[in-house]
Amino acid sequence: MQKGTFTVSQAMQMNRHLGPKFQIPPGSIGVISMLTTGIWLPFYDRVLVPTLRKVTKHEGGILLQKIGIGIVFSILSMIVAGFVEKDRTDAANLNPHVHMSVMWLAPQLILMGFCEAFNIIGHIEFFNSQFPDHMRSIANSLLPISFAYANYLNSLVVATCTVSQDRDMTAMAVTLTG
């Protein structure tokens, strides 16, 4: 949920310099998860799947297990993201002029890349194997629809938190001046 918006917000508050002259745009930090997915999928398809088919003797692979593995990677990514955000806010509270490197976001984005790879592959294979031929396109459209729904939900959560935080800051300012 947080990859699209909160990671960009985190990156904006971090040191994005790579060398003295180049600065990573905050919106580009998500490319780490895309690179992870792009590097993982060929290895998965050409090395891991044939090996697992020989070991398990299942031609279809492990459909629902792939989705479960993706969910586990998602949970791990959120745990890592929580620890990184705690460290980032603690560091900012101690010294607001010193920023952590944006590369601290890489582990959570790598885990999210694995999450996306396993979930997308698992869902597509599940839909193609379980739905009749004439319903496969409808079934496969469910995946991007679920992504759209999740993005809307994410926007709602971020907007709610922002409004709540703004109200808290206003109330605190009124109390201090008051």
pLDDT in tens, 29-45: 989 999 999 999 999 88
Look at residue 126 in the predicted model and tell me its pLDDT: 86
Asked if 39 and 123 sit in the same domain, the reply is yes
Mean pLDDT score, 4-19: 82
Asked if 119 and 70 sit in the same domain, the reply is yes
Asked if 25 and 81 sit in the same domain, the reply is yes
146 and 88 Cβ atoms separated by less than 8 Å: no
The pTM of the full predicted model, rounded to 2 decimals, is: 0.80
Q: Would the pLDDT of 175 be above 70?
A: no
Number of structural domains the chain divides into: 2
Find all residues with CB under 8 Å of 49, minimum gap 6, and list them.
61
Q: Range of 98's domain?
A: 6-130
Collapse the DSSP code of 22 into the 3-class scheme (helix H, G, I; strand E, B; otherwise coil) and give the result. Answer: strand
**Bigger pLDDT: 164 or 117?**
117
Asked if 116 and 165 sit in the same domain, the reply is no
**Residue 108 domain-assigned (yes or no):** yes
What proportion of the chain, given as a percentage, has pLDDT over 90? 25
Asked if 116 and 158 sit in the same domain, the reply is no
* pLDDT tens-place string over residues 58-93: 776 677 788 899 999 999 999 998 899 899 888 888
Confidence of residue 1 (pLDDT cuts 50, 70, 90): very low
Return d(Cα 128, Cα 135) in angstroms, integer. 9
Asked if 143 and 98 sit in the same domain, the reply is no
**Residue 177 domain-assigned (yes or no):** yes
Return d(Cα 149, Cα 24) in angstroms, integer. 29
Asked if 63 and 118 sit in the same domain, the reply is yes
Asked if 101 and 64 sit in the same domain, the reply is yes
Asked if 85 and 170 sit in the same domain, the reply is no
- Residue 79 has a CB neighbour count (10 Å cut-off) of 12
**Residue 1 domain-assigned (yes or no):** no
